[in-house]
Amino acid sequence: MTLLIQYMLIFASVLLLVALGGCFSEHSGVINIGLEGIMVFGALGGALVMKYLPDGASAATVIFLSIAAAMLLGMVYSLLLAVAAINFKADQTLVGTAMNLLGTAAATVFVKAMNTAENPDNVSSTIQYINAKKAFIVDLGGFEFNWFMLLALILLVVSYVLLYKTKFGLRLQACGEHPQAADSVGINVYKMRYAGVMISGLLGGIGGLVYITAGVSEWKFENGVAGFGFLALAVMIFGQWKPIRIALAALLFGLFRSLSNVYTGFDFLASLNIPSSIYNMLPYIISLVVLALTSGKSHAPKAEGIPYDKGSR
Amino acid sequence: MEAKKHTPFLRRPVVQTLLASLICILLGLLIGYIALLLINPAGAWDAIVVIVKNFWKYSAQSAQLKYLGNTLVKAAPLLMCSLSVLFAYKVGLFNIGAAGQYVAGAGAALYCALGLHMPWYVCMLAGALAGALLGCLSGMLKAYRNVNEVISCIMLNWISLYLVNSLLTTVKDPTSPYTLNLAVANPGALIPSLGLEKLFTNNKYVTIAIPLAVIITVLIWVLLEKTKLGYELKATGLNKNAAKYCGMREKYNIILTMGIAGALAGIGASMYFLSGFEEWSCTQSSVPAMGFNGIAAAFLGGLNPIGAIFSSFFIQHITNGGAYVDKTMYCSQISDFISAVIIYLCGFVLFFKHCMNRFMDRREEKALRKEEQAK
């Protein structure tokens, strides 16, 4: 049971972080499909830091540096979307898809080159961080509490306050609903949208780092992030772009995702003899059903996806 | 009445699209070259040349033709996937589910071939129907429940992957994760080649699938440009509400379009797996890249069926070329990297066209000013 809750919270943290990132970006008016690519890059940054930190480094150093690296790389990568969508008015869905493919390909090429440079026989795209990962975990009497769960909770509160209780957040939302009106009162829509996309890069990067350290001590970058970024997008839409609802949706999806890992531990479920592929499909089927039921009155930010042109009405 | 104005060369949309795609390709190759230089400057130039040359690296013409055949075998399904993406895009839908529809098609085709022992045309039909079913599902979710098609397609991609993996486990080789070899288990399911393989030095994987893909491309072009249905679909894509106001059934059009797009991807999968080139690995954990490369080929071809023929061939050409890079220095994923950069740059096509128009505007202004001064 503790394993189920552990996995549920960790996967929920990943989904929460990435969905919050997508939420910020879409509130500012830029559709961010490229969350998978951002996650891969954030994961790459964190993994590199964890790999190269000396073994004796304190837990706090490991945590802070790897999170910082993940945030930085995620933000830099999200700039690709920002520049293309905001300055060059590119099709945001296309750029996002390109970023997903580019993220996995670039990370694989980089990791393979790095591994081959260290050891010519090593042609894998795996990075290991067995020792560094231990810094994140605190054993609370059998329950492995991961600092990332706390981080996700803190960032959830920060996001809620930022989005609804500060000038910045309200102006950000205005840029996604009616950028022309926002522009007319003096808000710089371009800057706001850049901020939205970069925040999504920051959060997505941390989400990627959390994903690759969830339960495993090495990661094969050829796999990218196995579709988790898109699951986070579904969480965001299910949560109707509101942080609290996103958190609840993330918990729900995290539960189903973790079930596929731990169902053998439950005698009740094991006796039902459901094939493992059904458990694998369960998060996606549930997402589809949930989306089918709730998208009818979906209130996406009205001006999302439309490149902002100062000259238009 | 004024005589028809002669449109300058650089203003013609076809020329602009072609030039924009060429710019994307050249820039993509350049960025790939820079990446190779950063990894290991020693072999960078050779590596990029090898990627671009692909089968030309063989000096004997028979070897060249044989490996050209290999490229074509993979370019045909890629062409079908790119048609799937561009067809849906005409109605304003981003069919990222081409990968899942490809998987569904492969599953249906292979199961019919290996499990039900059907001849190839039945298997191909099954593949098309499976892909169409998946596409229609996304279309119905979009039309009736307003579910964003990108998300529903991604979910269906993963669901179909797991379903097909478990389905094809029933017809696989007991000792390996791959499905049974078609030539051994059911030769009647292999797509016939009608003598085409002789043109490619007896490359037994070259089949009539390749000319069939080109024929289907032309049919799709005719459907989009010359039929009433095509006009309705494009109108729905340009302005859903205006189309509805004119009496076009936009829900029906959306579902039909996604269904056709799904069928195209499913046919592509049948073409690939029924040629015997590769078996399906029942333990694969991610959706095959063919569907996503179809997105690249669709946009690189300027979202035009005829353009998609050339762009699909090009993308497959450099993907196959990537397998020849010196493995001690680089990895074959470098061509995936280049393809991804090219798709990213395709997003800037509007900007490139804008630049071309600005350039032409300035030239015309200069010419007008000279005329004024001369007067």
- Residue A166, phi then psi, degrees to nearest 5: -120, 160
Q: What is the residue type of A228?
A: F
Residues B233 and B243: beta-carbon distance below 8 Å: no
- Chain A residue with Cα closest to B147: A295
Using pLDDT thresholds of 50, 70 and 90, give the confidence band for residue B178. confident
pLDDT of residue A101: 87
Amino acid at B106: A
**Which residue among A98, A280, A295 sits closest to B162, beta carbon to beta carbon?**
A280
Do residue B344 and residue A80 have CB atoms under 8 angstroms apart? yes
Residue A219, strand partner residues: A127
The enclosing H or E element of A139 equals: strand A137-140
- Alpha carbon of B344: minimum distance to chain A alpha carbons (Å): 5
Q: Is A267 helix (H, G, I), strand (E, B) or coil?
A: helix
B47 in Cβ contact with B325 (< 8 Å): yes
Model pLDDT, residue B342 = 86
Does A306 reach chain B within 8 Å, measured CB to CB?
no
Query: Over pLDDT 90: what percentage of chain A?
Result: 36
Report the C-alpha gap between A228 and B155 in whole angstroms.
11
Q: Give yes or no for a contact between B102 and B125, defined as CB atoms under 8 angstroms apart.
A: no
pTM of structure: 0.86
User: Among residues of chain B, what percentage have pLDDT more than 90?
Assistant: 26
**A88 contacts in chain B (CB < 8 Å):** 347-348, 350-351
A83 close contact with B: CB closer than 8 A = no
Give the pLDDT score at A313. 62
Please indicate if any CB of chain B lies within 8 Å of the CB of A3: no
Choose the closest CB to B344 out of A89, A99, A104: A99
Across the interface, which of A105, A291, A293 has its CB nearest the CB of B151? A291
Tens digits of residue pLDDT in A236-293: 888 889 999 999 999 988 888 888 777 777 777 767 777 778 888 888 888 888 888 8
| Residue A227: predicted pLDDT | 78
pLDDT at position B4: 54
Across the range B79-96, mean pLDDT stands at 91
From chain B, the residues in CB contact with A277 under 8 A are 162-163, 165-166
How many other CB atoms are found less than 10 A from the CB of residue B59? 7
User: Do residue A98 and residue B346 have CB atoms under 8 angstroms apart?
Assistant: yes
Arithmetic mean of pLDDT over chain A:
86
Distance between CA atoms of B150 and B144, rounded to whole angstroms? 15
Per-residue pLDDT band for B263 (boundaries 50, 70, 90) equals very high
Rounded-to-integer distance, Cα B367 and Cα B373, Å: 10
CB A159 within 8 A of CB A20: yes
Interchain pair A97, B292: CB under 8 A: yes
DSSP A252-291: HHHHHHHHHHHGGG-HHHHHTT--HHHHHHHHHHHHHHHH
Mean pLDDT of chain B: 85
Q: Which residue has the higher pLDDT, B58 or A103?
A: A103
| A105 chain-B contacts, CB cut-off 8 A | 333, 336-337, 339-340
Mutation target among A118, A291, A309 for the B interface, most CBs of B within 10 A: A291
Identity of the residue numbered A195: A
Q: Does the pLDDT of residue B156 top 80, yes or no?
A: yes
Distance CA B176, CA B188 (A): 23
Chain A contact set for B285 (CB, 8 A): 223, 226
Are residues A105 and B162, on separate chains, in Cβ contact within 8 Å? no
Q: Which residue has the higher pLDDT, B56 or B78?
A: B78
pLDDT 10s digits, A5-47: 888 998 999 999 999 999 999 999 999 989 999 999 999 999 8
